[in-house]
Structure 1
Amino acid sequence: MPRKPRTTKTAPDRPDLPPRFDPAPAPEDGAVWDGVEAGPDTEFPEHVADLRLHECRLRGVTLSGRTLSGLHCRDTEFVNCDLSGAVLDDAVFTRVTFTDCRFTGAELNGAGLTDVRIEGSRADLVRLRMAKGTFLHVEDTVLRGADLYRFTAKDCALRRCDLTDAVLDDARLAGTDLHGSTLDSIRGPLALAGTRIGPDQLVSVGALFLAAHGVQVTEAG
């Protein structure tokens, strides 16, 4: 019997969500949410430890300024949520989507993001220092001033994003799709080696590489 041809994965896997959700309980340390939906009336305390979200939906939830240590999310979607200033260091996200969310100033240092999609969001000044992304696709999102120091990317994409003033020092971005993204004034431009860009980005990226190698463009004397 002939073998079926293998399909090459090109995008993050979508969350596997249940056909219906239960109401979300009160957030508390060590809680496991399984198949629940949280809305704007769900109030998170300033600190929650070891919360696990499995097959959940969060819509219009405010997590601004909260610290969620030890957060694990699997097969979960966030829609129109406010995570600005949230501390999510070392969080683990697997098959998670964020749509129309706000991450301004959020801390995701050391986080693991596998099969994660972020669309139409605002994530300026977000910190992803030493985080790891595998099939992390970010599209149509503001990442101005984002800190990706030592960020490791595998099969990732940052499409049509504003990365102005982003910090890419020691990041490993080879293979990342950057089509349509603004790359002006980024720090650590050598991290762009091996990435994929479009013809319209040649001038800006070329200028960054020349500056990184100390090449000066002057008038002939």
Structure 2
Amino acid sequence: MARTQRGRRTKLRPDPPDTPSRWDPPPSVVEHEMVWDGIDAGADVEVPPHVADLDLRECRWTGADLSGRELTGFRVRDTRFVNCDLSGAVLDDAVLRRVEFTDCRLTGASFAGARLDDVRITDCSADLTGFRMAKATAVLVENTSLHGADLYSMSAVDCAFLGCDLGEASFHEARLAGTRLHGSRLDDVRGAMSLAGTRISPEQLVPVGAALLGVLGIEVTEPDQP
């Protein structure tokens, strides 16, 4: 834990999932309104194009193919996703608490309006992923490509994007004060004014400064000759 200038304790890392000591086998097919509790699932689980109200509790899912799936009413607690493909998946308004994504493909996935508490995303590919209007608390994203990601109106508390590619990402109207961005690429970001209050490292001064100059309409030119 660290402290802010006002003395509030800052959470530096999300709480890890609380998983069971033994696992139960998964169903062969995912169905609507299923509740998984203590399930260890693999790549052979069939997932239909649309699943409503799937609830995962204390699970582990390895090699899942969730690409392009629409998971409405998705609720996940104390669960690890490992080497899963969620590219293009729609998880709008999902509720995730103490969840980890490791070595997963999240390219183009949508977490619009999602609630993310104690979520960790590590070594993933998440270009163009959408977090529009998501509410994030204690979310840590590490060594992940988020090139062109959409963070419009995202609200972040005690969050960090460390060693990530955030080039051309959109931060319009995001509330990111206190968010740590150390080691992340910030070239050509959009909505740079929403980076107010974030924390960066010295080598990020140039790209962030260039983005702010563009927003303010300041041009760097040679002086006019008399």
Q: TM-score, normalised by structure 1?
A: 0.95
Residue 178 (1) aligns with residue 181 (2): yes
Q: How does 1:16-95 map to 2 (within 5 A)?
A: 16-25=18-27, 26-95=29-98
Instruction: Note the C-alpha offset of 1:89.
Output: 0.4
The superposition leaves residues 121-145 of structure 1 with CA deviations (integer Å, 9 ceiling, x where unpaired) of 0000111110111000000000011
Q: 2:125 aligns to what?
A: 122
CA contact (8 A) 2:129 2:150 kept: yes
Q: 2:134 aligns to what?
A: 131
Give the whole-Å Cα distance in 2 for the aligned partners of 1:216 and 1:86. 41
1:156 is matched by which residue type in structure 2? C
Give the whole-Å Cα distance in 2 for the aligned partners of 1:210 and 1:145. 20
SS at match of 1:22: coil
Q: 2:212 aligns to what?
A: 209
Instruction: Note the C-alpha offset of 1:9.
Output: 3.5
1:15 is matched by which residue type in structure 2? P
1:23 is matched by which residue type in structure 2? P
Q: 2:154 aligns to what?
A: 151
Q: 1:10 aligns to what?
A: 12
Give the whole-Å Cα distance in 2 for the aligned partners of 1:76 and 1:36. 9
Give the whole-Å Cα distance in 2 for the aligned partners of 1:105 and 1:11. 25
1:90 is matched by which residue type in structure 2? D
Instruction: Note the C-alpha offset of 1:10.
Output: 2.1
CA contact (8 A) 2:75 2:95 kept: yes
Give the whole-Å Cα distance in 2 for the aligned partners of 1:20 and 1:84. 30
Instruction: Note the C-alpha offset of 1:148.
Output: 0.7
Give the whole-Å Cα distance in 2 for the aligned partners of 1:8 and 1:70. 30
Q: 1:169 aligns to what?
A: 172
SS at match of 1:190: helix
1:106 is matched by which residue type in structure 2? A
- Kindly tell me the number of residue pairs found equivalent between the two proteins: 215
Instruction: Note the C-alpha offset of 1:211.
Output: 1.4
2:208 is matched by which residue type in structure 1? V
CA contact (8 A) 2:151 2:174 kept: yes
The one of 102, 107, 111 aligned to 1:108: 111
Instruction: Note the C-alpha offset of 1:8.
Output: 6.2
SS at match of 1:162: coil
The superposition leaves residues 42-96 of structure 1 with CA deviations (integer Å, 9 ceiling, x where unpaired) of 1101111000000000000100011110000000000000000111100000000
Give the whole-Å Cα distance in 1 for the aligned partners of 2:223 and 2:154. 40
Give the whole-Å Cα distance in 2 for the aligned partners of 1:36 and 1:42. 12
Structure 1: which 5+ runs fail to align? Answer: 1-6
RMSD of aligned alpha carbons:
1.0
1:49 is matched by which residue type in structure 2? A
Give the whole-Å Cα distance in 2 for the aligned partners of 1:207 and 1:45. 45
Structure 2: which 5+ runs fail to align? Answer: 1-8
Identity %: 60
CA contact (8 A) 2:11 2:138 kept: no
Instruction: Note the C-alpha offset of 1:18.
Output: 0.4
